Amino acid sequence: MESARILVAVSGGIAAYKVPELVRQLQRQGHDVRCVATPAALRFVSPLALQALTGETVRSALFDPSEEGEIDHIRLADWADLVIVAPATADLLAKMATGLADDLVTAVLLATRAQILVAPAMNVNMWTHSATQENLETLRSRGIQVIGPESGELACGWEGAGRMSDPVRIVAEADLSLGTDSLSGQTVLVTAGGTAEAIDAVRSITNRSSGKMGFAIAEQAARRGARVRLVAGVTALATPAGVERLDVESAREMREAVMAELPTSTIVIKAAAVADFTPENVESQKIKKEGLEDQSALMLRLVTTPDILREVCDNKGDRIVVGFAAESQNVVEAAREKIRRKGCDLLVANDISRDDAGFDVDTNAVLMVTPDGGVEETALLSKREIAGQVLDRVEKIMRERLG
């Protein structure tokens, strides 16, 4: 990991007491850290502590001539490679969402062109309030990364979501955002999302895949310097920065796109939830109830779709191919059987019976299975962190091949 210039922006919540620990951990990773704080934040954490750690003045006022003289707020915004807002209060998130810049912290956040990570911390009712959630949606749609919050006992006495994530997690997310060049020169083909198999002019059969896992992999591969081609099925997600996207609907279209991209790809990661069956005939008009022989039932005959992963593996050459598996029972045995059957280099298995992993949640815990039957289990992590671990494993295979 290259050392980076990280600006930690602190807002006024009790979790501000964890900021010195965050600063220390970022410094241990070799980063150059500066802090800015709202006036309220300085009631929870001492500017002297932050100054002693960073060796720099902790700026808090926008129009203080002595502070502006030292480093003005625009230069501070330009200085940062990455900005971490920790803790991010409900008030600060609201100001960021509206673009207010009425103090030093918000002015820097509006002026910076660096990636911003926010680590919210607040009372559970403030967190779940639709105002806060709508603000977060706005921030996410602008590419701001949200870390946590975690659930547990809150300083206000309530139980629930609202604790700021641990500094270790914030540092791990910061490292993912900063990126490396470990995949430069590689072309990574990623599939993501579910397919939709048409029944008639208006209806289709699809599945509950959100595409989040595959999109996180595409995003992380781009951050590691790869050229990334993302074949996306049905999903509402925005294209990650630096990723080239091709939209498809059916399993057949996904197969065509993947096979067309295969010759120029060096790594293939198949996170899509491909339909195994598709209607044998697609009606060009909407099927009406009248006209059916039996008006109380409609018979659909489904036929199997092409197994794209299998076909990719049959034409693998020197490529590294990663498959995914959604399993609801005997996960390890099923994954070992699947990697043998498909012939890929790594199989990432999800246990879809868990509530906190798998479809349409932001967290995941997976098993990574290799052809020799080896199994590695991850903790419950954000999908970005899981994506990082899958790519670490791919890089390990690359190194092993080089001897």
- Cβ distance to ligand CTP smaller for residue 222 or 309: 309
**Residue from 12, 120, 167, 323 binding ligand CTP (CB under 6 A):** 323
Closest separation between CB of residue 240 and ligand CTP, Å? 19
**Residue from 44, 127, 215, 324 binding ligand CTP (CB under 6 A):** 324
- Cβ distance to ligand CTP smaller for residue 166 or 311: 311
- Report the distance separating Cα 43 and Cα 16, nearest Å: 9
Which one of 146-154, 268-276, 285-293, 295-303 is the stretch in contact with ligand CTP (CB under 6 A)? 268-276
3-class SS of residue 3: coil
**Residue from 9, 308, 313, 346 binding ligand CTP (CB under 6 A):** 308
Closest separation between CB of residue 274 and ligand CTP, Å? 4
Closest separation between CB of residue 380 and ligand CTP, Å? 20
Catalytic annotation present for 313: no
**Residue from 114, 309, 321, 335 binding ligand CTP (CB under 6 A):** 309
Closest separation between CB of residue 332 and ligand CTP, Å? 14
Interactions with ligand CTP, residue window 219-258 (CB under 6 A): 251
Radius of gyration of the chain (CA): 24
- Cβ distance to ligand CTP smaller for residue 116 or 232: 232
Closest separation between CB of residue 325 and ligand CTP, Å? 4
**Residue from 2, 64, 276, 362 binding ligand CTP (CB under 6 A):** 276
Check binding of 321 to ligand CTP (CB under 6 A).
no
Look at residues 140, 141, 76, 133 and name the one whose alpha carbon lies nearest to residue 110: 76
Check binding of 357 to ligand CTP (CB under 6 A).
no
The 3-class SS string of the chain reads: CCCCEEEEEECCCHHHHHHHHHHHHHHHCCCEEEEEECCCHHHCCCHHHHHHHHCCCCECCCCCHHHHHHCCHHHHHHHCCEEEEEEECHHHHHHHHHCCCCCHHHHHHHHCCCEEEEEECCCHHHHHCHHHHHHHHHHHHCCCEECCCEEEECCCCCEEEEECCCHHHHHHHHHHHHCCCCCCCCEEEEEECECCEECCCCCEECCCCCCHHHHHHHHHHHHCCCEEEEEECECCCCCCCCEEEEECCCHHHHHHHHHHHHHHCCEEEECCECCCEEECCCCCCCCCCCCCCCCCCCCCCEEECCCHHHHHHHCCCCCEEEEEEEECCCHHHHHHHHHHHHCCCEEEEEECCCCCCCCCCCEECEEEECCCCCEEECCCEEHHHHHHHHHHHHHHHHHHHHC
3-class SS of residue 357: coil
Closest separation between CB of residue 399 and ligand CTP, Å? 23
Check binding of 135 to ligand CTP (CB under 6 A).
no
- Report the distance separating Cα 173 and Cα 303, nearest Å: 43
Q: Which of 35, 156, 313, 344 is catalytic?
A: 156
Residues contacting ligand CTP: total by CB under 6 A: 13
- Cβ distance to ligand CTP smaller for residue 146 or 335: 335
Q: Which amino acid is at 396?
A: K
- Cβ distance to ligand CTP smaller for residue 110 or 326: 326
Closest separation between CB of residue 305 and ligand CTP, Å? 4
Distance of CA 269 to the CA centre of its chain: 15
**Residue from 325, 335, 339, 367 binding ligand CTP (CB under 6 A):** 325
Closest separation between CB of residue 326 and ligand CTP, Å? 5
**Residue from 31, 224, 227, 270 binding ligand CTP (CB under 6 A):** 270
- Cβ distance to ligand CTP smaller for residue 9 or 347: 347
Check binding of 192 to ligand CTP (CB under 6 A).
no
Return the active site residues: 156
Return residues touching ligand CTP (CB under 6 A). Answer: 251, 270, 272, 274, 276, 305, 307-309, 323-326
